Amino acid sequence: MDSIIPEKFKERYCQLVDDPDKFLSTLMQYTPRSFRVNRLKATVDEIKERFDEYGIAIKQMSWYGDAFVSENPEIGATLEHFLGMIYIQEIVSMLPPVIMQKELKQAKFVLDGCAAPGSKTTQMAAIMQNNGTIIANDLAYGRIRALKFNIEKTGTLNTIITNRDLRTFPNYQFDAILLDAPCSAEGTMRKNMEVFSTWNEREIQKQCRVQKPLILKAFDLLAPGGVMVYSTCTFAPEENEGVVDWLLKNRPNAKLEKIAIDGFKLSSAIEEWNGEKFDSEITKTARVWPHHNDTGGFFLARVTK
């Protein structure tokens, strides 16, 4: 059944997971549909009540009360989706704002470095209750329209959209930064099996050549006392622990903080890859393997200055 998964892919990652068979079989199944209640426009109770009236079964996540999953394929055909009261979003995509919620509630000036299509931007704005300012930057001009659409639909008012290569961004000092970096997207295979057909290791190398300068620049834009989350939706250690290790080597004042989400299973970082041993601090970063929470794959690092 998992024959469309490249052998080299299996070779790389089956050695890293606790249950390789379960890992591979999970990759062959679509992720459950999920959405987030947009607190700028609705309350969780309102949404529960409305979906109950519709007879659409939804399940609230214990680790984040705004997150729901549902078997029903017609969530997008509800009035609540039309009005932006709910936002269809992958569960793992909700994690970066969740692990900086406390700081976001206080923040005045926030950067979303690679913002399009805006799922996490609009989630951060909801956490901030439209206070402060978010700079939602994206290099990909073609994706700005989707970002703008989602900002409008969710009633997000505290956002400025910019279209600049982050590496040349002016030297502001942000209270909080999200760098959800462009990546080889291996962890999205469950929603797009095509990723398997184009997968190759050259892509991984290509991505981490971009990610390394991005993480340094993003860190330079962080105000002392601020928090930055670096995340990807890929499994490759080169794009995850390898990039964070690069930050630690090049910015001695970068500190990592341990991540925990009560009720959501996070896994240990990879401490060594292809003969390269990463900084011992790397154990504070976290991985999400798809078979643990029935989600896509993800990586998270919480950096302070």
Partner 1 sequence: MSYDDDYGNPEPADPKKIQSEVLAYLYSRFGFDQKLFDNFGLYLGSKGKIYLGPKQLIKEPKIVTLGIMIARADGGIKPTTNLFQIFGKQITKNYIKISKEQAIVYVKGEDMNLGDIQNASDGYVLIKYGDIPLGCGFLKGHALKNMMPKAKRIGLKYI
* Of 49, 52, 71, 152, the one binding partner 1 by CB under 8 A: 152
Shortest CB 42 distance to partner 1, Å: 10
Asked whether position 209 contacts partner 1 by CB under 8 A, the answer is no
Give the residue with the Cβ less far from partner 1, 105 or 149: 149
Q: Is 149 in the site for partner 1 (CB under 8 A)?
A: yes
Q: Are strands 255-257 and 298-304 parallel, antiparallel or unpaired?
A: antiparallel
d(CA 184, CA 236): 8
Single out the residue of 179, 151, 185, 147 nearest to residue 166, CA to CA: 179
Q: Could you give the CA distance from residue 175 to residue 100 in angstroms, rounded to a whole number?
A: 11
DSSP, collapsed to helix, strand or coil, labels residue 46 as: helix
User: Smaller CB distance to partner 1: residue 38 or 188?
Assistant: 38
77 binds partner 1 (CB under 8 A): yes
Using CB under 8 A, which of the segments 4-12, 141-149, 181-189, 289-297 binds partner 1? 141-149
130: left (phi over 0), alpha (psi -120 to 50) or beta: left
Residue 63 binds partner 1 (CB under 8 A) = no
Q: How many residues does the chain have?
A: 305
Peptide bond into 224 cis (omega under 30): no
Nearer to partner 1, 132 or 187 (CB): 132
Nearest to 179 by CA among 136, 228, 236, 129: 228
CA 141 to chain centre: 20
CA distance 118 to 52: 28
Q: From the list 25, 60, 70, 131, which residue makes contact with partner 1 (rule: CB under 8 A)? A: 131
Single out the segment in contact with partner 1 by CB under 8 A; choices: 57-65, 136-144, 201-209, 270-278.
136-144
Q: How far is the CB of 174 from partner 1 (least distance, A)?
A: 11
Residue 63 exposure: Cα atoms within 13 Å on the Cβ side: 16
Query: What's the CA gap between 40 and 155, in Å, rounded?
Result: 7
Quick one: which of 1, 141, 197, 252 contacts partner 1 (CB under 8 A)?
141
Report 95-114 residues binding partner 1 (CB under 8 A): 108-109
Number of C-beta neighbours around residue 7 at 10 A: 8
Binds partner 1 by CB under 8 A, chosen from 22, 143, 148, 217 = 148
- Min dist. Cβ of residue 209 to partner 1 (A): 23
Q: Does 57 bind partner 1 (CB under 8 A)?
A: no
Answer yes or no whether residue 27 interacts with partner 1 by CB under 8 A.
no
Q: Mind giving me the DSSP string for 148-201? A: HHHHHHTT--SEEEE---GGG-----EEEEEEE-----GGGTTT-THHHHH--H
Q: Does 161 bind partner 1 (CB under 8 A)?
A: yes
Decide if 183 is catalytic: no
Q: Is 140 a binder of partner 1 (CB under 8 A)?
A: no
**Position 170 contacts partner 1 (CB under 8 A):** yes
Region for residue 9 given its phi and psi (left: phi exceeds 0; alpha: psi -120 to 50; beta: otherwise):
alpha
Site for partner 1 in 221-280 (CB under 8 A): none
For partner 1, the binding residue among 123, 159, 207, 231 (CB under 8 A) is 159
Active site residues: 233
Binding site for partner 1 (CB under 8 A): 40-41, 54, 56, 74, 77-79, 82-84, 108-109, 130-135, 137, 141, 144-145, 148-149, 151-152, 155-164, 169-170, 172
